[in-house]
Structure 1
Amino acid sequence: MGEVSMTAEQAVQAFLAWMTAERRASPLTIEAYQNDLARFMAFMSEHLGGLPDMAGLAKISLRDMRAWLAHEQTWAMSTTVRKTTPDRAARTRSRRVSAVRSFFRYLARRQGVENAAVSLLATPRTKKPLPRPLSVPDAKAVPQDIGDVAHTEMARRRDAALFLLLYGCGLRISEALNLNVADLATMRGSGVLRITGKGNKERLVPVLPQVQQGLEGWLKHHPSPHAADPLFPGVRGKRLQAGVAQKAMREWRALAGLPDTATPHSLRHSFATHLMEGGADLRVIQELLGHASLSTTQRYTLADEARLLDVWVRAHPRAQSGSKP
């Protein structure tokens, strides 16, 4: 049980130190939480007529919490400060609620300060963005042309193979970059890759002959094709960082005139959408993507429905203006 005499400011600093040391939170997360908690404390100081001490933190009511959240919403929607969409503002408020909840959980576990009200505070609802797949020609063009922005021959061949794999197998960028040279041995014998996805869950992903040829072609130019080495290395031989691949995609999409939604992850969306357009079963796509829940895969259905509706409106006789039943 912690010291009751600790001030609220000291409690926040202790919490942030704990997040850094024990939870290994990133500097950006720590900075965001520090800002969120500073805003929370500033509001409560004005709302309650003074900065609460540790005992006061335990007495903050659900009504006080809701007043703070309403203040945040009013601030976010103010015409003088609003520089973002309503949904992005809701995501910011959701993060701030998460920061406050984490802080009060820390107080309960490490400082002996209990407050049940924070657990009753509703999290602002946010819309989940629909996937933005590329068209079939654009998706095919990525692995063919992305090497144009590379600075070395090795990087050109590596990026072509990497992005061919992302689109051809629907992998997450992290899944592709975690592959080693040895993983290609399994592919040669069986035509599948063993992928370790989220939660260390493994799945087998079939590899199209064209993708196999691309990977084998890259291996002939791999700077260190030893079994334990990463399949996609950086310039110093270590595992390629996702940020490097994302940067290559940013540079290429600027040359190709594609929108900002064209990212390495959009190739995974494209893989799923194009399979569905070709008649693939939703559960098959779920297995290939490694989704634990079918509802996650169904988001691709929603994305495709918008495209199908557009086709229907433009092509179906019943959708033409002036048509009669």
Structure 2
Amino acid sequence: MTVLVGHIVDSALASSGQAKEPLWKEHLRAEMALLQPSIQELVWAWLSRQRSPHTGAAYGRDLREWLAFCNQFDLDPLTVDVGHGDVYARSLQVRGLSARSAARKLAAVSSWYTYLVRRRAIKANEFGGANRPETNRKESKTVGLTGSEAAAMVRAAIRDPHRQRLRTAAIIGLMISVGPRVAEVVALELGSLGYERGMRTVRIVGKGEKIRTRRLPAEAGQLLDAYLAERGDAPGPLFLTAGGRPMRTGGIVDLVSRIARQAGLFMPERVTPHTLRHTFATVAEESGASVREIQDALGHASAATTEIYLHAPKRIENDPSVRVAKVLTWTGS
């Protein structure tokens, strides 16, 4: 069964454009070496039932870290209790992880234990009671760029001196004007582009394999057309490397950071693909789009998630510190 389930997971990953086994699977196998074969089978079964390959990969990495922690301190993962979970939660915070990231990792491990209970491999999910760090649902570490900064990013991408500048411009233009997740960009196929009601569209496969069809602005379409003239019309992944292979998430992360530097943005190292997604949301709202329209465009299941994107820049721009500063005396005279 291990071979069968592992094959299913491999097939799912292959369909997402990954040509070889990712490192997280190799590392996970190493940390699982001391687990019973039947439990190893349940690990792969649990991962294979996740709705998207990206979620499965994230859960696999999170579980690998927990198993590494257990191996380090000679703990049996199947007999741990809530106290061990509390210690692990504390270790994540000591490592410097944000409350949200630590809470997500703990939730992933707890999900695995819940699955083991359902499969009757263990009697109860003792890990599930571990203290999770409190997160502020209105806070986000990512803040979108201003409209002028976003425009500077597009101009820098168009002027990019690298040989793949047409592809770079197409990616930056698409990400800022449409707001997809970086994983969604990587997963785009040539066939994802289309027409509906006389308008150009891009078909995006989001979390949970949910599909949303977005309108492609004419300006972004022109950048894509220039890239496609160079790429050719061969079916397959939309964005390719110079060697003709599918682009990966890391490549786009590096590309965005490089263009941010070339655009002369402040602290360009903090500009990520997720920054561009936030930028789409904030600029859209400032241009008159409703929260519901932005929610649908981004593929958020809840409007509360969308509001997190929109709250951060308002909180900074409307901070009352400016009002206080205006009534203070700032000179010694």
1:141 matched to 2:141? The reply is no
1:225 matched to 2:258? The reply is no
TM-superposed CA distance for 1:214, in Å, is 1.6
- Secondary structure of the residue that 1:220 maps to in structure 2? helix
TM-superposed CA distance for 1:174, in Å, is 2.6
Query: Does the Cα contact within 8 Å between 1:91 and 1:126 map onto a contact in 2?
Result: no
- In the alignment, residue 132 of structure 1 is paired with which amino acid? V
TM-superposed CA distance for 1:69, in Å, is 4.3
Query: Does the Cα contact within 8 Å between 1:171 and 1:289 map onto a contact in 2?
Result: yes
Instruction: Tell me the distance in 2 between the aligned counterparts of 1:170 and 1:162.
Output: 11
- Secondary structure of the residue that 1:193 maps to in structure 2? strand
1:236 matched to 2:243? The reply is yes
**RMSD, matched Cα:** 3.7
Provide the residue aligned with 2:255 in structure 1: 248
1:203 matched to 2:209? The reply is no
Query: Does the Cα contact within 8 Å between 2:292 and 2:303 map onto a contact in 1?
Result: yes
Instruction: Tell me the distance in 2 between the aligned counterparts of 1:175 and 1:116.
Output: 33
Query: Does the Cα contact within 8 Å between 2:203 and 2:212 map onto a contact in 1?
Result: yes
Provide the residue aligned with 1:99 in structure 2: 109
Provide the residue aligned with 2:274 in structure 1: 265
Query: If the length of structure 1 is used for normalisation, what is the TM-score?
Result: 0.70
Provide the residue aligned with 2:7 in structure 1: none
- In the alignment, residue 315 of structure 2 is paired with which amino acid? A
TM-aligned CA distance change 1:303 to 1:22, over 3 Å: closer
Instruction: Tell me the distance in 1 between the aligned counterparts of 2:255 and 2:293.
Output: 31
Provide the residue aligned with 1:274 in structure 2: 283
Instruction: Tell me the distance in 1 between the aligned counterparts of 2:241 and 2:170.
Output: 14
- Secondary structure of the residue that 1:191 maps to in structure 2? strand
Query: Does the Cα contact within 8 Å between 2:147 and 2:283 map onto a contact in 1?
Result: yes
| Matched residues, number | 284
Aligned match for 2:134, one of 125, 138, 141 = 125
Aligned match for 1:33, one of 63, 66, 79 = 66
Instruction: Tell me the distance in 2 between the aligned counterparts of 1:307 and 1:118.
Output: 38
TM-superposed CA distance for 1:40, in Å, is 6.8
Instruction: Tell me the distance in 1 between the aligned counterparts of 2:179 and 2:327.
Output: 40
Query: Does the Cα contact within 8 Å between 2:85 and 2:131 map onto a contact in 1?
Result: no
Structure 1 gap segments, 5+ residues each: 1-8, 43-50
Query: Does the Cα contact within 8 Å between 1:192 and 1:205 map onto a contact in 2?
Result: yes
Instruction: Tell me the distance in 2 between the aligned counterparts of 1:196 and 1:180.
Output: 10
1:170 matched to 2:176? The reply is no
Structure number with larger C-alpha Rg:
1
Q: Write out per-residue CA displacement over residues 61-80 of structure 1, whole angstroms, 9 at most, x where no aligned residue.
A: xxxx3433454466667xxx
Provide the residue aligned with 2:123 in structure 1: 114
1:68 matched to 2:84? The reply is yes
- Secondary structure of the residue that 1:304 maps to in structure 2? helix
Provide the residue aligned with 1:46 in structure 2: none
Instruction: Tell me the distance in 2 between the aligned counterparts of 1:180 and 1:73.
Output: 39
Provide the residue aligned with 2:327 in structure 1: 321
